[in-house]
Amino acid sequence: MISLLTADQKEKYTEFRDFIKTNVEPCASKWDQNQEMPGEFIKLLGNSGYLGGNIPTEFGGKGWDLVTFGLLNEAVGRGISSLTDLFTIQAMVSMTLLKWGTKEQKDKWLPSLAKGDVIGAFALTEPNVGSAIQNLETKFTKQGDKYILSGRKRWISYGEKADLFLIFGKDENKSVAALITKGTPGLEISPLKNMMGFRAAHMAQLTFHDIEIPEINIVGKPGFALSHVAPIGLHYGRISTSCSALGLLRACFEESIVYAASRKIGNKFVGEEGMIRSLIAKMGTDLQAASLLCYTACKAEDEHTPDVYEKVQMAKYFTSKAVVKAASDAVQIRGASGCHESSPVARYYRDSKIMEVIEGTTQIHEKMLGKTFVDRANKLKKEK
């Protein structure tokens, strides 16, 4: 993949990797164990401009192309997945506002999101709904020139830290998206601790106790929140998650080959064993394949190709599956030492499974991609 990058992209990638190696990797295990991403480090990210990398310069962002944004996520994913989740959510909120926000909403929130002065949260998931978002139970009830919001959201990344929440729900049969801020009367935030993975991602449950929302806080038109507004955020979420999973896959591969080349059992290095070489061969091949899929997906978004959604879905599907296998093999290569928190591969193993769940489960992606491929075949058949 490196050979496909422009000189500027290569330079940024080196910058990102150096930043993560210096500022993240030495602290990753501690952050994971403490289940917290320090506020001062989030402030450092804001000052670096990384949290607004894909926001246009006119709103104070860096205006990066999506390949560069993907490279940032890959570099961060090598360090700790919980941190990449912050970039994922920040992009989901900011890019949704960029596409569907009013001028006033963009002018008010995008500069603060770009600087990291405001942390966003994308509140779509609910306790009883999961991936079936058409069945949302959160209610928006129209009363004059305002809405009354009631319901619950769960598994909201950085919900505990967020300042701005993009909430999705329904007004009878019409889907609605709206912005609320931390401290809004009626908003209850309950931290969710002891997650299997992404432990430092500040997961939370949000409960809405009849919150009054003025119409100026509505994002997009009522009735289009699930068909038009949410898909933008999910699209960027899948790009970020794909590249984050790629970084985690690289971490599994790099840790495994270093261990195999340095660990001796008797008179032989672990890497001399055929079984270990087989695991590493598969891991390295998946890493190369995943890197090309992620690059192709980001490039397709930059070029606005008609098949961009398909390419992003394939990248997310393949890479999330590959990293679960790689993390399992990385633990297997280390044996008992890989099962203890002192080994980074134990964290990789826990974090990797989350990749198959967030931004659409593996099964949801199989359903979407399978339909795409079959529909294409049917279309070709009709054209003959």
CB 147 within 8 A of CB 213: yes
pLDDT, tens digit, for every residue of 65-102? 999 999 999 999 999 999 999 999 999 999 999 999 99
Neighbouring CB atoms inside 10 A of 114's CB total 25
The Cα–Cα gap between 167 and 177 comes to 5
For the chain, what are the domain ranges? 2-118, 121-225, 231-376
Q: Model-level pTM?
A: 0.93
Q: Report the chain's mean pLDDT, rounded to a whole number.
A: 94
Class of domain 231-376: mainly alpha
Asked if pLDDT for residue 193 goes beyond 80, the answer is: yes
Mapping DSSP onto H, E and C, the string for 212-264 reads EEEHHHECCCCCCHHHHHHHHHHHHHHHHHHHHHHHHHHHHHHHHHHHHHHCE
Asked if pLDDT for residue 384 goes beyond 80, the answer is: no
Asked if pLDDT for residue 1 goes beyond 80, the answer is: no
Q: What is the CATH number of domain 2-118?
A: 1.10.540.10
Which of 230, 117, 225 has the alpha carbon at shortest distance from 176? 225
CATH topology for 121-225? Answer: Butyryl-CoA Dehydrogenase, subunit A; domain 2 (2.40.110)
Alpha helices by DSSP H, listed for the chain, are: 7-23, 28-34, 39-48, 66-79, 81-100, 103-115, 230-262, 274-303, 308-334, 344-355, 362-383
Task: Tell me what the mean pLDDT of segment 131-141 comes to.
Answer: 87
Asked if pLDDT for residue 190 goes beyond 80, the answer is: yes
pLDDT, tens digit, for every residue of 206-262? 999 999 999 999 999 999 999 999 999 999 999 999 999 999 999 999 999 999 998
pLDDT, tens digit, for every residue of 295-352? 999 999 999 999 999 999 999 999 999 999 999 999 999 988 888 887 899 999 999 9
CB 52 within 8 A of CB 367: no
